[in-house]
């Protein structure tokens, strides 16, 4: 046993991934001009929008839960919001895939002055 167990002890564990983010708008590390911004996240599988969540973190570290649009392609979650202050932002996404797996991740981007 122990040889297998010890290998488990030695391996660095990692988070699981199922519904994976294939594409985002803005892209990770990208930038958008200040103003009304559409945030869109495309996955490899169908997601349950009503049971998923997008949380925006602003440059001053305040957080807002964004309302997810309930229409669109089955593998996309999207929202629109006003981003007025330039600086670094991030969106933490958490999605429930239709097969019941919950995954999450972060997309960091920058808002530039208009």
Query: Smallest distance, Å, CB 6 to another protein?
Result: 5
**C-alpha to C-alpha distance for 62 and 85, rounded to whole angstroms:** 12
Strand partners, 63: 57
Rg (CA), the chain: 17
Span near another protein by CB under 8 A; candidates 23-31, 44-52, 56-64, 80-88: 44-52
- Looking at beta carbons only, is 22 or 63 nearer to another protein? 22
For tokens 């229409």, name the residue.
71
Q: Which is closer to another protein, CB of 7 or CB of 62?
A: 7
Structure tokens at 76: 């996309």
Q: How far is the CB of 33 from another protein (least distance, A)?
A: 28
**Residue 45 touching another protein (CB under 8 A):** yes
In angstroms, what is the minimal distance from the CB of 20 to another protein? 5
What token pair was written down for 108? 């960091």
């Amino acid at each position: 046993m122990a040889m297998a167990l010890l290998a488990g002890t030695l391996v660095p564990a990692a988070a699981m991934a199922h519904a994976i983010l294939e594409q985002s708008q803005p892209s990770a590390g990208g930038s958008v001009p200040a103003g009304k911004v559409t945030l869109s996240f495309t996955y490899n599988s169908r997601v349950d929008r009503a049971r998923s969540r997008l949380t925006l973190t602003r440059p001053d570290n305040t957080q807002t839960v964004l309302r997810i649009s309930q229409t669109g392609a089955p593998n996309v979650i999207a929202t629109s919001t006003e981003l007025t202050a330039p600086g670094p932002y991030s969106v933490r996404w958490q999605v429930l895939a239709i097969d019941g797996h919950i995954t999450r991740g972060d997309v960091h981007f920058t808002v530039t002055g208009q």
